[in-house]
Amino acid sequence: MDFELPETHQQLRETVREFCEKEVRPHAIEWDKEERFPKEIIPKLASMGLLGIRIPEIYGGAEMDTLAYAISVEEVARVDGSLALTVASHNGLGTGHVLAFGNEAQKQKYLTKAVTGEWLAAWGLTEPGSGSDAAGMATTARRDGDHWVINGTKMFITQGSVGGFCVVLAKTSPEKKQKGITAFIVEHGTPGFRASKHLEKLGMRSSDTVELSFEDVRVSDEQRLGELDHGFIDTLKILDKGRVSIAALALGLGRGALELAVAYAKERKQFGKAIADFQAIQWMIADMKAELDAAALLTYRAASMADQGKPFSKEASMAKLYASEAATRACNKSLQIHGGYGYTREYQIERHLRDAKLCEIGEGTSEVQRMVISRHVLAG
Ligand SMILES: Cc1cc2nc3c(=O)[nH]c(=O)nc-3n(C[C@H](O)[C@H](O)[C@H](O)COP(=O)(O)OP(=O)(O)OC[C@H]3O[C@@H](n4cnc5c(N)ncnc54)[C@H](O)[C@@H]3O)c2cc1C
């Protein structure tokens, strides 16, 4: 059993880390305060290969594995959770769905534009009335000759207004419930497809989150993604990999918070010595380190299982559940170590804490992960 990451992945970590320290850290607080999606960083992310991490080279992608994807997301999150959410959802959800279930023409058209950042990808599953019960969606797609007419609303969609296209899940055979859902690719500019204004959020503030509405949106059958009525089954597979990336995002936020805590504890003096000399602070740091290393092992295990073609649904849920809750605890402890300064928006740690909370909610809440894990365990 080897607990070391392969050399190639260690090098990737160093490269992404260097990029984030230079191009992202100096701006992360400002982007968050302005609640502004940083469009200017997109070409740089593309040139680093971070917009096509798993996309094959024939479409211009970096063609790396799931472990590399997880490490990339982790490293971006170490510095900026919002940008990591952009990288995770673009790679894992929107383009991930086209890569896994698209036909050759769709891959040529959408993946080649996704890797350059010309078209960021969004993915619309959640609706105002259906989140955890995703199959309870109300959006419909009705066949009209060789076209489909989509009507409905999608909620909390990442890259919903800044993306070039959105993969949308809609009911095509409502009587068949989750076996009657199909995915479609809808391009921005299609008549009847509109994005609301940016939703104001607790965290992930420079990530673009919007409500999308579809009013008699006509798309040709060529825009259907995957088999008819197979969209929900495909979605569960997309979410498995997505959960590995949210685990990695949480891990990065937590590890970033630990580094901030260590640096601050060594520098801040009270009662004539560095606060790092107090056992109360040391114990918080020990707990953070142990929990985050456990989160890393779960996350890398799930990613490696995906790369080996093994079933990894339970492991992805375990990684996502544990890493997200460990990250929130780590960020909270780090803020405590920062004292009053940590509570101000001049320091980075309050942003980490706000961002980490999303990881317990997005791509299936902690409660949903517990449902998935217990179902697997009880069926065994
Ligand atoms: C910033 C952000 C970005 C997002 N990006 C996207 C995106 O790009 N695409 C997309 O499709 N969605 C996206 N989402 C949506 C996200 O996946 C949902 O918010 C999440 O799945 C939870 O759904 P909900 O918000 O409707 O909560 P609900 O499902 O209403 O849950 C509310 C509470 O009830 C609990 N609960 C529900 N059912 C059960 C049960 N059976 N047993 C026990 N407890 C239960 C939940 O765990 C939760 O605590 C995003 C959300 C946010 C906040």
**Topology of domain 232-379, CATH:** Butyryl-CoA Dehydrogenase, subunit A; domain 3 (1.20.140)
**Topology of domain 7-120, CATH:** Butyryl-Coa Dehydrogenase, subunit A; domain 1 (1.10.540)
- Mutate which of 126, 168, 366 for ligand 1 pocket (most atoms within 8 A of beta carbon): 126
Pairwise CA distance, residues 78 & 55, whole Å:
23
Q: Of all atoms in ligand 1, which is nearest to the CA of residue 371?
A: 42
Q: Tell me the CATH class for 122-229.
A: mainly beta
Backbone angles phi, psi at 227, to 5 degrees: -75, 150
- Mutate which of 361, 366, 370, 372 for ligand 1 pocket (most atoms within 8 A of beta carbon): 361
The amino acid at 135: A
Residue ranges, the chain, pLDDT below 70? none
Backbone angles phi, psi at 165, to 5 degrees: -150, 160
**What is the Cα Rg of the chain in Å?**
21
Å from CA of 324 to ligand 1 middle? 14
pLDDT at position 197: 77
Pairwise CA distance, residues 94 & 122, whole Å:
5
Pairwise CA distance, residues 297 & 294, whole Å:
5
Q: Give yes or no for residue 158 CB within 6 A of ligand 1.
A: yes
35 noted as active-site residue: no
**282-300 pLDDT, tens digit each:** 999 999 999 999 999 999 9
Ordered by start, the domain boundaries in the chain are 7-120, 122-229, 232-379
Q: Is the dihedral of CA 157, 163, 169, 172 positive or negative?
A: positive
**67-114 pLDDT, tens digit each:** 999 999 999 999 999 999 999 999 999 999 999 999 999 999 999 999
Å from CA of 365 to ligand 1 middle? 6
pLDDT at position 89: 97
pLDDT at position 380: 82
**143-179 pLDDT, tens digit each:** 999 999 999 999 999 999 999 999 999 999 999 999 9
List, in sequence order, the alpha helices (H) in the chain. 7-23, 25-34, 42-47, 66-77, 81-89, 95-101, 104-106, 112-116, 231-267, 279-307, 313-342, 349-359, 366-379
Average predicted confidence (pLDDT) for the chain: 97
Q: Compute, in degrees rounded to 10, the torsion defined by CA atoms 258, 262, 267, 271.
A: 100
Provide the CA 115 distance to its chain's centre, in angstroms: 17
pLDDT at position 65: 98
User: 122-229 with 232-379: one CATH topology?
Assistant: no
pLDDT at position 1: 81
pTM: 0.97
Q: Of all atoms in ligand 1, which is nearest to the CA of residue 158?
A: 8
